[in-house]
Chains A and B, each alone.
Chain A
Amino acid sequence: MNNFWSVTASLLEGFWVTCAIFAVTLVLALPLGLIIAFGAMSSFKPVKAVVKVFIWVIRGTPLMLQLLVVYYGPALIFHWDLMPRFIATIVAFVINYACYFAEIYRGGIESISKGQREAGQVLGMTKTQIFFKVILLQVVKRIVPPMSNEIITLVKDTSLARIILVEELLKAAQEFTAWGLMWPLFYTGVFYLLFVGILTLVFRGIEKKLDYFRS
């Protein structure tokens, strides 16, 4: 049970769950974040207020607490049946990350000078055309560094899912610690480092690709 390969095999099982949380969260939170960003910039005041309060609550409370509330909350308050642990994890992570992404999107969109929008209007472009053909390309370029920061944090935040007993990488390692085997815990660092290393290379590639509009 304690040799290197069986520990590795057991950690790989946990790593697979970690990867799944990461990938599903990213795929769902990226578009949801954009919707929330539009809400936060809405000219319709009530929508804007609700979205701002929502972002405040989500960014203002620990993700660990949100996981507990999403998973156990419905059963404790309404006596509903629980959703599967993995689904609860995804719900909590997607909401949390979408809010952070939304603020990055908003920052990116608002950083484009008003002059460009006005120029578009003078040239007779519609609002949609201005957004997709003028604003968006520049926004994407500008938000890559902060987004990559947030996405790298997501890799490591997946370990919080252990609070609702999802068998991710760190929890898999702690099974060994409980029986007196310490090194698997530190060995998990290698997995996270490799994962983040690959992501870093991907982001470097993306930044190079987006090397247009050099100013």
Chain B
Amino acid sequence: MKKIFAVLMSAALALTVAFGVAACGKGDTLRVGYTIYPPMNYTDEQGNFVGFDTELALETGKILGKEIEFVEIVWDNKIFDLNTGNIDIVWNGMTITDELKENMEISEPYLENRQVVVCQTSEAEKYKTKDDLVKASEIIVEKGSAGASAVGATSAADKIRTADAQKDTLLEVKTSASKIAVIDYLMAQVIVGEGTDYSDLTFVDVGFEDEQFGIGFKKGNTELCEQVNNAIKTLKEKGKFAEIQAKYYG
């Protein structure tokens, strides 16, 4: 009798632990990894965490019936964060590349983007096509970014220097430490020019190819990837997507 009781008790304990772990691990929360990257994810003057991707993620959470928890990550370590379960999703204006496809599940493209050259306004005349990139003594890009790939494919590949984040490339150009930066059009549009901290900088289109933004998941997690794809489809149908887009790229 005692033995049966003990077995039952341990079974109950095991079940409780199993449920507990399941509740903590999966639960109703999705952990979304981001870096500060205006206008996708950033904090506004009032101290609210906003941005295109921020709002899109929150709306997606509503559709899926899940809480969204934002976790700041180091961009370089995003795949590591996914694989260790630190985050469930990378949602941070991520350009879809072949390298990334090998290492994570990626959603359907949800936004168009391309790479542009950021330089001091007085030098804007110098850069008209991709062949003009060699005129710069040093080109700063975010490591592992679409900009890094884009410049890597030109004759100016040997001029590349890499920074941790796209926003760090702007200080380099402002101080002339690097002559030009190659970053996302979607970011350049809102972060340089009049009324910003980088009013002496401007951006030029030198004809890099169009790219697409995607949302990343742990390799093999096709289920969540599908769910998010469907949610975004719904948001587009309902006009919510266009509403958020107009807010940040009006």
The residue in chain A whose Cβ has the minimal distance to the Cβ of B103 is A180
The residue in chain A whose Cβ has the minimal distance to the Cβ of B168 is A165
B130 neighbours in A (Cβ, 8 Å): none
**Stretch of B3-11, B34-42, B171-179, B229-237 on the interface side:** B171-179
State whether the Cβ of A72 lies closer than 8 Å to any Cβ in chain B. yes
Chain B positions 65 through 107: 1 when the CB is less than 8 Å from some CB of chain A, otherwise 0: 0000000000111011000000000000000000110110000
The residue in chain B whose Cβ has the minimal distance to the Cβ of A85 is B177
B residues 127-177 near A (Cβ < 8 Å) are 140, 143-145, 148, 161-163, 171-172, 174-177
Are A180 and B175 in contact, with the CB atoms below 8 A?
no
Are A175 and B143 in contact, with the CB atoms below 8 A?
yes
B: contact size bracket: 20 to 34
Main secondary structure of the interface of A (DSSP, over half): helix
A71 neighbours in B (Cβ, 8 Å): 177
Are B99 and A180 in contact, with the CB atoms below 8 A?
yes
Query: How near does chain A come to B32, taking the closest CB pair, in angstroms?
Result: 19
A72 neighbours in B (Cβ, 8 Å): 171, 175, 177
A: contact size bracket: 10 to 19
Are A76 and B175 in contact, with the CB atoms below 8 A?
yes
Asked whether A178 and B177 contact (CB < 8 A) given A72-B171, A165-B162, A165-B163, the answer is: no
State whether the Cβ of A182 lies closer than 8 Å to any Cβ in chain B. yes
Distance in angstroms between the alpha carbons of A2 and B191 in the assembled complex = 35
B172 neighbours in A (Cβ, 8 Å): 165
State whether the Cβ of A179 lies closer than 8 Å to any Cβ in chain B. yes
Are B80 and A177 in contact, with the CB atoms below 8 A?
yes
State whether the Cβ of A148 lies closer than 8 Å to any Cβ in chain B. no
A174 neighbours in B (Cβ, 8 Å): 76, 143
Partner of B176 from the list A81, A165, A177, A182 (CB cut-off 8 Å) is: A81
B148 neighbours in A (Cβ, 8 Å): 178
Partner of A182 from the list B75, B80, B174 (CB cut-off 8 Å) is: B80
Distance in angstroms between the alpha carbons of A189 and B235 in the assembled complex = 47
State whether the Cβ of A75 lies closer than 8 Å to any Cβ in chain B. yes
The residue in chain A whose Cβ has the minimal distance to the Cβ of B171 is A72
Are B175 and A178 in contact, with the CB atoms below 8 A?
no
Distance in angstroms between the alpha carbons of A75 and B102 in the assembled complex = 41
Distance in angstroms between the alpha carbons of A17 and B79 in the assembled complex = 28
Asked whether A179 and B177 contact (CB < 8 A) given A72-B171, A165-B161, A165-B162, the answer is: no
Partner of B177 from the list A75, A175, A182 (CB cut-off 8 Å) is: A75
Query: How near does chain B come to A194, taking the closest CB pair, in angstroms?
Result: 24
A35 neighbours in B (Cβ, 8 Å): none
Are B143 and A178 in contact, with the CB atoms below 8 A?
yes
A82 neighbours in B (Cβ, 8 Å): 175-177
Distance in angstroms between the alpha carbons of A174 and B77 in the assembled complex = 9
Q: Contact residues of B with A, CB < 8 Å?
A: 75-77, 79-80, 99-100, 102-103, 140, 143-145, 148, 161-163, 171-172, 174-177
Q: Contact residues of A with B, CB < 8 Å?
A: 71-72, 75-76, 81-82, 85, 165, 171, 174-175, 177-180, 182
What 7 A-B pairs are tightest by C-beta distance, nearest first?
Answer: A178-B144, A75-B175, A180-B103, A178-B143, A177-B76, A178-B76, A180-B79
